[in-house]
Amino acid sequence: MSFDNAYESLLGHEDAHWAFGTGFSEALSGVDREFPAGVDKDALASYCLMLGDDALIFSQRLSEWCSRAPELEEDIALANIALDLLGQARMLLTRAGEVLGRDEDALAYLRDEREFRNVHLAEIDCGPGPGGDFATTIARLLVFSSWRLALFSRLRGSADPVLAAIAEKGVKELAYHRDHAAQWTVRLGDGTDESHRRMQAGLERVWPFVDELFATHSVEAALQGVAVDPASLRSEVDGVLEAVLSAAGLTRPKDTRAARVAGMAGRDGVHTEVMGYLLAEMQHLHRSLPGAVW
């Protein structure tokens, strides 16, 4: 059978059907999921929640740009990046759920704010609404993807084969995300006075949330050989950011740290004010209509 174009068979072929909307099976269906000997399963579950929540919450933020980006190609790009992160989140939450006895949907839709373990950088509001800006979202994407790529690059060597496999896939995706953010940063930083000013302002906005990314949590400390110590990533990530900012003619903001609550931050389940609004939007449908499917 031949087709005049790649989409023709979606309409005419006897097996034709659109790829979406038939429901999802579990994200790790059929993957060998033995736990490595001697691993602290509760700590592993917490660690999977941390990395899964980072991706889930940032994915939700990126999705908010769909139809609001400066150009159509960018709508598609940010939505694609959000989709990759959502895929990573599904696998990580499923892995956590094996220990916690809950599935990915229950973890995404039925946990309350204090149970989420994402870093604050993932949740802060960078637009498209009031007070946000496309340049701020690019600044966050640059920092987030540079950090997560460095983290996943090392996680490929994790003693947990499932985490290692998720990381091996994720590295390829994150490399595209980081390049995309880096190229936009150069384009805006090295563009007009206006774009330069807004890109610099975007960096200033997200910079107070950078420090948290490299703080070692007790969960990571308890998972030697399984988890990556984020403190060990700092110089690599700094080097990448330095290269991008220098090519873009931008100035690295002064290192300041966003205030914490009693020394706690996102990894401890303590979030900023916008998190409640984000979760209300993300969880509303599932909570109003439990078990709803497409």
Partner 1 sequence: MTTALEVASAVRDPELPVLTLADLGVLREVSEEDGRVVVTITPTYSGCPAIDEMGADLRRSLVGAGYAEVEVRLSLSPAWTTDWISEEGREKLAQAGIAPPSRIGPTVAGPIPLNLVPPSRQVACPQCGSLNTSEISRFGSTACKALRRCHACAEPFEHVKEI
**What does the binding site for partner 1 look like in residue numbers (CB under 8 A)?**
2-3, 5-7, 9-10, 13, 15, 17-20, 22-25, 28-31, 73-74, 76-77, 79-81, 83-88, 90-91, 149-150, 153, 156, 161-162, 164-166, 168-173, 175-176, 178-180, 182-183, 186, 236, 240, 243-244, 247
Which residue lies nearer to partner 1 by CB, 81 or 278?
81
CB of 109 vs partner 1, minimal distance in Å: 18
- With CA atoms as reference, report the closest residue to 209 among 163, 286, 144: 144
Helix (H) or strand (E) holding 173: helix 161-189
Which residue lies nearer to partner 1 by CB, 9 or 272?
9
CB of 257 vs partner 1, minimal distance in Å: 26
Which residue lies nearer to partner 1 by CB, 183 or 272?
183
CB of 191 vs partner 1, minimal distance in Å: 14
Which residue lies nearer to partner 1 by CB, 65 or 208?
65
DSSP-based three-state secondary structure for 228: coil
Which residue lies nearer to partner 1 by CB, 12 or 130?
12
Residues 278, 60: Cα–Cα separation, whole Å: 8
CA distances from 224 to 36, 149, 193, 259 (A): 12, 20, 47, 29
CA distances from 65 to 61, 175, 181, 253, 276 (A): 8, 21, 15, 25, 19
Long-range contacts of 98-102 (CB under 8 A, 24+ apart): 98/33, 98/45, 99/41, 99/42, 99/44, 99/45, 100/45
CB of 124 vs partner 1, minimal distance in Å: 23
The alpha carbon of residue 36 and the mean position of all alpha carbons in its chain are separated, in whole angstroms, by: 26
DSSP-based three-state secondary structure for 264: strand
Q: What tokens does 258 get?
A: 């966003």
CB of 285 vs partner 1, minimal distance in Å: 18
Q: Are 119 and 109 in contact (CB under 8 A)?
A: no
Which residue lies nearer to partner 1 by CB, 182 or 223?
182
Query: CB neighbours of 200 closer than 8 A, spacing ≥ 6?
Result: 189, 250, 251
Which residue lies nearer to partner 1 by CB, 20 or 262?
20
CB of 264 vs partner 1, minimal distance in Å: 30
CB of 140 vs partner 1, minimal distance in Å: 17
Residues 283, 38: Cα–Cα separation, whole Å: 36
Residues 139, 189: Cα–Cα separation, whole Å: 11
User: What DSSP designation does 13 have?
Assistant: S
Which residue lies nearer to partner 1 by CB, 120 or 177?
177
CB of 16 vs partner 1, minimal distance in Å: 8
